[in-house]
Amino acid sequence: MSSRLRHRKTGGRRAKLAARQHVDLGTVAFIDRKIPYYEVLDEEGLQLIERNAETVLEEIGVEFRDFPEALALLKGAGAEVDGERVRFPRGLCRSIIQASAPAEFTQHARNPERNVIIGGKRTVLAPSYGSPFVRDLDQGRRYATIEDFRNFVKLTYLSPGLHHSGGTVCEPVDIPVNKRHLDMVYSHIKYSDKPFMGSVTAPERAQDTVDMAKIVFGDDFVEKNTVITSLINANSPLTFDATMLGAATVYARNNQATMISPFLLAGAMSPVTVAGTATQILAEALAGMTYVQLVRPGAPIIFGTFASSMSMQSGAPTFGSPEPALVLYIAAALARRLGVPFRSGGGLCASKIPDAQAAYESANTLQTAALAGVNFMLHTAGWLEGGLTMGYEKFIMDADQANMIAIILGGVDLSENGQAMDALREVGPGQHFLGAAHTQANFEKAFYRSPVADNNSFEQWLEDGSLDTAQRANLIWKKMLQDYEAPPLDPAIDEALQDFMVRRKSEFPDQEY
């Protein structure tokens, strides 16, 4: 890495190129939604789920395990604490959250042009998260390394449809478990200027993330602004463990954002019905977000959910199927009614390879998430094999879909030019529009051009080598990595980050947990 850094420091030419690339990436920092949300339940149905979730919180309760300070805080706020089981009087969670949680917040990027607003009518897309394996057409499936991690940060940086650098885009298993978060956070900062996610695998790793962010943004800025958004999964059903609570506590105290995410395989970790699963999601999210608001009222939170269904034959998770889509539509509506940002998504699939199954399943979830009104779409690009594998070709295909989501959510241009009445008048019956003045004036931006799809004739496609989508995507990601130029980073900051990493790594021995 140091040779790369030296190279960067020399580079006026490279800096200029990077600046130009930067502009060329074009597009906006996030999507500002112009079309309505899609909802599957009416007011009565949503109220039913909300009532049932309150019953779950009141009667059954939620366990906060091995984390006494959460129990103390919750008890102080009016919850009934029995051992590690916490029961909430009806409406308590909702009122605590609504009293202080922001409806939307800005997550700052080191490049201010890439700041994202999370919440309201905004949609922010981020790559997949958490895969121990990677896959590409050349080398097949293998354990991920820090080099893969850097590659996906670079590819995300270069993908205009992805607004956020994500977090654990893959697990760099060539670095000790207890130190790899340093390299991951550094890579996000170094190889991208988009906002990123922090470590959640231990409180001290969360603190390292905050400390590195302070090197980049300054202590005072971090105290007053959100520069990290992190993923806090519940241990569904109805349980939060000390690891996740510890990380959430660190981030909340530092005014950094957390997405409290029930992580459900319906049938195993939640009931086998859509309504029952949605009820549990709401109960878990309410309990988790309540805790965060008690740690620091006003700390940014996101109502997250990840729900798949289970194959009742094999016990494996299934994706892109109708029941989780219905759950997602309901959960998004519940978050809106609560008044907090919502996270779900993205290009989820069970397929081991980037084939038709992967694409059907991913498209189904991407469309659902987009129409439901997801504010932060995790796992937008790269996901294979239930999240076990991050795919290079799959990433390219999904990033293409991400671009299209921006257009769908951008809605319909009803301006005079959009109405195109002059074109209709100019052309008339039986003629074609290709040469019309309106067509000529608009064709460059008229329709989305996919870099991955082949729309040529069969004969042309044959002549081009009969490539399938994955083969075309393979050429694209290699070209992107080849052409990649890092965004400029103040050398003093870079050095300070590296010093921090070296120091922290020297302070404790390597561990594989």
Site for a second copy in 350-379 (CB under 8 A): 350-364, 367-368, 371
CA 59/CA 304 separation, integer angstroms: 23
Q: Where are the alpha helices (DSSP H) in 303-420?
A: 322-338, 356-372, 392-410, 416-419
Buried-state track 257-286, b at ≥16 Cβ within 10 A, e below 16 = bbbbbbbbbbbebbeeebbbbbbbbbbbbb
Instruction: Tell me, by CB under 8 A, how many residues bind a second copy.
Output: 127
Nearest distance, CB of residue 128 and a second copy, angstroms: 16
Q: Identify residue 61 by its one-letter amino acid code.
A: G
163 binds a second copy (CB under 8 A): no
In 139-207, DSSP assigns E strands to: 140-143
Assess 397 for contact with a second copy (CB under 8 A): yes
Distance of closest approach, residue 127 Cβ to a second copy, in angstroms: 17
Quick one: which of 379, 350, 389 has its CA closest to 133? 389
What's the CA dihedral at 209, 213, 216, 218 to 10 degrees? -140
Tell whether residue 187 is a contact of a second copy (CB under 8 A).
Answer: no
Kindly state whether residue 316 participates in binding a second copy, applying the rule CB under 8 A.
Answer: yes
- CB neighbour burial string for 128-140, b if at least 16 within 10 angstroms, e if fewer: bbbbebbbbbeee
Name residue, tokens 């996740």: 244
Q: Return d(Cα 233, Cα 280) in angstroms, integer.
A: 14
41 counts as binding a second copy under rule CB under 8 A: yes
Longest dimension (CA), the chain: 78
Please, which residue, 434 or 492, has the CB nearer to a second copy? 434
Per CB under 8 A, 47 contacts a second copy: no
- Residue 31 binds to a second copy (criterion: CB under 8 A): no
- Binding piece for a second copy, criterion CB under 8 A, among 144-152, 219-227, 324-332, 336-344: 324-332
Taking the complex as a whole, the smallest distance from the CB of residue 98 to a second copy amounts, in Å, to: 24
C-beta closer to a second copy: residue 230 or 280: 280
Restricting to residues 279-298, name those near a second copy by CB under 8 A: 279-280
Phi, psi values for residue 109, rounded to 5°: -105, 160
Closer to a second copy by Cβ: residue 298 or 322: 322
Question: Of 15 and 408, which CB lies nearer to a second copy in the complex structure?
Answer: 408
Judged by beta carbon, residue 388 or residue 493, the one nearer a second copy is 388
**Overall size of the chain counted in residues:** 513
Q: How far is the CB of 181 from a second copy (least distance, A)?
A: 26
Tell me if 383 sits within 8 A of 349, measured CB to CB. yes
Euclidean distance between the first and final Cα of the chain, in Å? 25
Contact region with a second copy (CB under 8 A), list: 198-206, 298-306, 459-467, 489-497: 459-467
221 part of the interface to a second copy, by CB under 8 A: no
Binding part of the chain for a second copy, among 34-42, 109-117, 189-197, 373-381 by CB under 8 A, reads 34-42
- The answer to whether 298 and 72 are in contact (CB under 8 A) is no
Taking CB under 8 A as the criterion, the residue among 270, 290, 293, 474 binding a second copy is 270
Smallest Cα–Cα separation from 376: which of 239, 175, 490, 226? 226
Does residue 173 belong to the site contacting a second copy (CB under 8 A)?
A: no
Q: CA-to-CA distance for 301 and 252, rounded, in angstroms?
A: 9
**Closest separation between CB of residue 19 and a second copy, Å?**
28
Given the complex with a second copy, which of 204 and 454 has the nearer CB atom?
A: 454
68 scored as a contact of a second copy (CB under 8 A): no
List the one residue from 7, 16, 142, 425 that touches a second copy (CB under 8 A): 425
Give the residue with the Cβ less far from a second copy, 3 or 139: 139
Select 153 or 330, whichever has its Cβ closest to a second copy: 330
CA dist 63 and 69 (Å) reads 13
Alpha carbon distances (Å) from 382 to 127, 306, 368, 397, 498: 7, 16, 17, 8, 29
CA distances from 511 to 88, 250, 499 (A): 39, 22, 21
Which residue's CB is nearer to a second copy, number 124 or number 310?
310
Q: Give the residue, chosen from 15, 25, 48, 496, that forms a contact with a second copy under the rule CB under 8 A.
A: 48
The answer to whether the beta carbons of residues 377 and 348 sit under 8 Å apart is no
Structure tokens at 63: 């366990």
Pick the stretch among 4-12, 201-209, 422-430, 481-489 that binds a second copy (CB under 8 A).
422-430
- Choice between 447 and 513, CB closer to a second copy: 447
238/299 with CB nearer a second copy: 238
Question: Which of these ranges, 108-116, 159-167, 250-258, 450-458, lies near a second copy under the rule CB under 8 A?
Answer: 450-458
Q: Applying CB under 8 A, which of residues 1, 103, 272, 437 lies at the interface with a second copy? A: 272
198 binds a second copy (CB under 8 A): no
CA dist., res. 80 & res. 86, Å (int): 6
Q: Is 35 one of the binding residues for a second copy (CB under 8 A)?
A: yes
Which of 312, 479, 483, 503 binds a second copy (CB under 8 A)? It is 312
The answer to the question of residue 80 lying near a second copy (CB under 8 A) is no
Residue 132 lies near a second copy (rule: CB under 8 A)? no
Name the helix (H) or strand (E) containing 510.
Answer: none
The footprint of a second copy on residues 460-479 (CB under 8 A) is: 460-461, 466, 468-470
Residue among 273, 252, 335 at smallest CA distance from 69: 252
Binds a second copy by CB under 8 A, chosen from 100, 145, 201, 235: 235
Tell whether residue 58 is a contact of a second copy (CB under 8 A): no
